[in-house]
């Protein structure tokens, strides 16, 4: 099994995906263990002094003015975890919780938090044992970190609360730790606070969304090319020299992908046949511009994610010169903004895909295709309601595109009076990515059927490769009406697994 070694200088997106989705094992580097021990010495020295230090010998948030005596400090750290584990609602996905815990471990190992090495090792042991804390949908405002979600994870570290075992069953965390041979942690000064104060949940979801959207944008370039082909459109608008004079890199990449898919097609270039068209509709002609803008948004979001992955987010932090200083680095605004940007871009990509699907189904705009791609229109309804489903998904995506980060609601007796709502932005982006996958799947289903109905004209070799692959995956071709949901589910699984891209790349070469 792949092993991820956690050091002091951050981790990569690939590391996050390996741990969250592939169950990679985690090891702490010697450098990280040494840094943890050194920072802990500083915290212990401060704890021994009579002067109050936030998070070490004081209360938290609006209660920071109270100095806590030494005999109450272990209780203070336990209490912050128990009281902050106040989430409600459905459980969040296992991969999200694993990403959340791994990213908190990454910051702990930076040597800026003052957590003991044995606490970090226990975090790694829990992940390696396949134990996943129960974390709920609601509880984070995206400021002071993802407090409630991280608290539920810290509760498991203490052997309290509920967690999911490697078999998928939810049981008391203490039982699961005992079976795995893991001793629960007795928290000391600063440690409870350090386990809660991070943007780890929203960052983990950002990293996973970026990976999913990178594949989806390539898949959408392919389905857009198939729709152009099925509509007998022109590929001249994809010429590199046209995109070079508006040098947005994402636009050029999307156009190049579409052009590669359409190479060798007998269906393109018929826009002057029958009723001549000077230009294709925007949803066809402007596909690279819309998808390209989304790709450039992805690039910006990736830059933000990389910066955050390199960060040590905690409050207070232990600095190399021995100071322990309060700060505002836990504020989720940088991550929240790009999560919202991605939801907007995804909604627009879904919207333009739905417009192409609708065009394929409308006999007045499809240039010779049967109404709704039906076998016997009137007797058969064809893909009429598949487009309804796609339209419903697009409509929801437009609602999900309303930015969460534009909102703020004060908390902690107005001490935390401006928050990012980044966790909420991440949660709705996950839904948007799911919906976009389904939207692209419906366009794929319609476009492949439409191409097969163009008798006498041979599609591009790459298009043919997609059609053959999708049929082999159980998505049926043209014919009389049948139970449509299984076909759409198979198309969704095909897109979700990245098979649209893997089907064309042996013909086109790697897509950009």
Asked which of 320-329, 370-379, 384-393 is least confident by mean pLDDT, the reply is: 320-329
Position 437 confidence tier, pLDDT thresholds 50, 70, 90: very high
Q: How far apart are CA 423 and CA 202, in angstroms?
A: 5
Check residue 224 and give its pLDDT: 98
Return the bridge partners of 28, or none: 6
Q: In angstroms, what CA-CA distances link 48 with 42, 44, 73, 181, 306?
A: 10, 6, 12, 33, 37
What pLDDT is stored for residue 62 in this prediction?
A: 67
The pLDDT of residue 252 is above 70: yes
Instruction: Please give the mean pLDDT across all residues of the chain.
Output: 95
- Tell whether the model's pLDDT for residue 238 goes beyond 90: yes
Predicted TM-score (pTM) of this structure: 0.95
Structure tokens at 403: 């930015």
Residue in 54, 217, 337, 445 annotated catalytic: 54
The per-residue pLDDT for 55 is 72
Higher per-residue pLDDT: 284 or 52: 284
Q: What radius of gyration do the chain's Cα atoms show?
A: 26
Query: For residue 37, how many C-alpha atoms fall within 13 Å in the half-sphere facing its CB?
Result: 7
**How buried is 273 (Cβ within 10 angstroms: 0-12 exposed, 13-18 middle, 19+ buried)?**
exposed
Annotated active-site residue 54? The verdict is yes
CA atoms of 505 and 213, how far apart (whole Å):
18
Contact 343, 428 (CB under 8 A): yes
More confident residue, 359 or 274: 359
Q: Is the pLDDT of residue 175 over 90?
A: yes
């Amino acid at each position: 099994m792949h092993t991820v070694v956690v050091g002091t200088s951050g981790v990569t997106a690939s590391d996050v995906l390996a741990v969250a989705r592939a169950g990679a094992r985690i090891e702490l580097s010697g450098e990280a263990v040494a840094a943890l021990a050194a920072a802990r010495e500083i915290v212990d020295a401060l704890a021994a002094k009579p002067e109050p230090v936030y998070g070490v010998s004081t209360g938290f948030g609006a209660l920071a003015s109270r100095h806590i005596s030494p005999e109450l400090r272990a209780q203070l750290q336990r209490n912050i975890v128990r009281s902050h584990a106040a989430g409600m609602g459905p459980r969040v996905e296992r991969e999200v919780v694993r990403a959340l815990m791994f990213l908190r471990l990454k910051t702990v190992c930076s040597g800026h938090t003052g957590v003991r090495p044995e606490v970090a090792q226990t975090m790694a042991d829990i992940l390696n044992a396949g134990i996943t804390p129960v974390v709920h949908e609601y509880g984070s405002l995206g400021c002071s970190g993802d407090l409630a979600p991280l608290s539920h994870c810290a509760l498991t570290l203490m052997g309290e609360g509920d967690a999911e075992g490697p078999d998928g069953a939810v049981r008391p965390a203490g039982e699961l730790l005992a079976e795995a041979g893991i001793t629960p942690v007795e928290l000391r000064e600063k440690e409870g606070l350090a386990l809660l104060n991070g943007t780890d949940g929203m960052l983990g979801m950002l990293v996973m969304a970026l990976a999913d959207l990178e594949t989806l944008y390539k898949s959408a370039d392919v389905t857009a090319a198939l729709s152009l082909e099925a509509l007998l459109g022109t590929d001249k608008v994809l010429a590199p020299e046209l995109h070079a004079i508006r040098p947005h890199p994402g636009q050029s990449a999307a156009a190049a992908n579409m052009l590669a898919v359409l190479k060798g097609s007998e269906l393109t270039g018929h826009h002057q046949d029958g009723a001549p068209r000077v230009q294709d509709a925007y949803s066809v002609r402007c596909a690279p511009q819309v998808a390209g803008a989304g790709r450039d948004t992805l690039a910006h979001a990736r830059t933000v994610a990389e910066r955050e992955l390199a960060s040590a987010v905690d409050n207070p932090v232990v600095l190399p010169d021995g100071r322990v200083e309060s700060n505002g680095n836990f504020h989720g605004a940088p991550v929240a903004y790009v999560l919202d940007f991605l939801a907007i871009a995804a909604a627009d990509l879904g919207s333009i895909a739905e417009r192409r699907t609708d065009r394929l189904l409308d006999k007045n705009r499809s240039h010779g295709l049967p109404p709704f791609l039906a076998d016997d229109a009137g007797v058969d309804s064809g893909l009429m309601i598949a487009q309804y489903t796609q339209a419903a998904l697009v409509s929801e995506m437009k609602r999900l595109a309303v930015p969460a980060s534009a909102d703020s609601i004060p908390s902690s007796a107005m001490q935390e009076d401006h928050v990012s709502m980044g966790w909420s932005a991440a949660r709705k982006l996950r839904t948007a990515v799911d919906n976009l996958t389904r939207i692209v799947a419906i366009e794929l289903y319609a476009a492949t059927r439409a191409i097969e109905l163009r008798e006498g004209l041979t599609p591009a070799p790459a298009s043919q490769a997609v059609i053959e692959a999708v049929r082999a995956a159980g998505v049926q071709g043209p014919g009389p009406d049948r139970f449509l949901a299984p076909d759409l589910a198979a198309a969704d699984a095909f897109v979700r697994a990245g098979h649209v891209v893997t089907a064309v790349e042996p013909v086109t070469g790697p897509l950009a």
